[in-house]
């Protein structure tokens, strides 16, 4: 079972529908989490959401509790939340991408995706990862072709994955494939 933590976003249920194509999904609101279900799940998904990782201390606690024990996946804010827990700084970006379709590319040969492969993806983020960001277990695996902003990370050892873009958006082509692949590792 996959447990989605909803950070009060207006895209969370698109995420829920997308993950439901592959497994049973339970969704709990950030302010009202079902701990028993969370414990039972195999995969935890941190949803997109407004604001900054600092605003969601409970999600950070959950990350530390289950890191290495369950697969953890972060989308948009969720992506930032995981990196934030790992010591990264999350900062405002000059150009903001809300409702924007971007070309991104796999840039790392340690990725589960083939290096050089391109995707068209939908983006809704004000903030971004401050780089350089160094962490021996985390690899930045995809970047925006135009701005080079980090778009995906993988920690294949502990099964932690994150997408800065929105695989569930109608602006993302082959979004289901992008989810299927990280669920099947």
Partner 1 sequence: MSKQNQLTEIHHSGEPYIIYKSKEGFDLYTNFSKKIILNNKNINNFLNIKYKRKIKNTDLFIGFFGYELLNNLINIKIPKQKNTIFPKGIFYKPEKKIRMCHNLRYRNKNIFKTNSFKININKDTYTKIFNKFKKKIKSGETYQIKICTKYKTKSKIDPLDFFSRLSKTNLAPEAFMIRDYNYSIISCSPENLITKKGLNISTKPIAGTVKKTKNLSKSKALNFFKKNLKESKEHNMIVDMERNDLSRICKVGSVKISKSKIVEEYKDLFHYVSLISGKLKKNIKIIDIIKAMLPGGSVIGCPKINTLKLLNKQEKENRNIYTGSFGYIKFNGDMRFNIIIRSILNFKDISEISVASGVVVDSNAKHEFNENYIKAKALIDLFK
- Enzyme catalytic residues: 76, 166, 168
Q: Which is nearer to partner 1, 14 or 152 (CB)?
A: 14
Which residues in this chain contact partner 1 in the complex, by CB under 8 A? 8-14, 16-17, 20-21, 49-52, 77, 92, 96, 98-101, 122, 124-127, 166, 169-171
**In sequence order, which residues have a C-beta less than 8 Å from that of residue 23 and are 6 or more positions away?**
1, 2, 42, 43, 183
Q: Where are the beta strands (DSSP E) in the chain?
A: 2-6, 25-29, 43-46, 71-75, 90-106, 118-129, 139-144, 150-155, 160-163
Q: Which is nearer to partner 1, 13 or 180 (CB)?
A: 13
Neighbour order of strands in the sheet with 2-6: 25-29, 2-6, 43-46, 71-75, 160-163, 150-155, 139-144, 90-106, 118-129
* Nearest distance from C-beta of residue 19 to partner 1, angstroms: 9
State the burial class of residue 79 (Cβ atoms within 10 Å of its Cβ: 0-12, 13-18, 19+). buried
| Bridge partner list, 100 | 123
Q: Which is nearer to partner 1, 9 or 154 (CB)?
A: 9
* Nearest distance from C-beta of residue 174 to partner 1, angstroms: 16
Q: Which is nearer to partner 1, 20 or 105 (CB)?
A: 20
- Comparing CA positions, the residue from 7, 63, 72 lying closest to residue 45 is 72
* Nearest distance from C-beta of residue 28 to partner 1, angstroms: 14
């Amino acid at each position: 079972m996959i447990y989605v933590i909803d950070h009060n976003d207006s895209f969370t249920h698109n995420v829920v529908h997308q993950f439901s194509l592959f497994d049973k999904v339970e969704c709990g609101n950030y302010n009202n989490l079902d701990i028993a279900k969370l414990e039972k799940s195999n995969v935890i998904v941190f949803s997109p959401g407004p604001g900054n990782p600092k605003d969601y201390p409970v999600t950070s606690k959950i990350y530390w509790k289950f890191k290495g024990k369950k697969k953890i996946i972060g989308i948009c804010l969720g992506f930032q939340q995981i990196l934030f827990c790992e010591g990264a700084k999350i900062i405002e970006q000059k150009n903001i991408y809300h409702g924007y379709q971007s070309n991104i590319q796999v840039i790392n040969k340690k990725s589960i995706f083939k290096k050089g492969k391109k995707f068209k993806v939908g983006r809704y983020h004000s903030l971004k990862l401050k780089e350089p960001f160094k962490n021996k277990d985390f690899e930045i695996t995809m970047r925006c072709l135009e701005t080079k902003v980090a778009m995906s990370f993988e920690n294949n050892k502990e099964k932690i994955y994150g997408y800065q873009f929105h695989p569930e958006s109608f602006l993302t082509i082959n979004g289901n494939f992008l989810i299927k692949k990280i669920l099947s590792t």
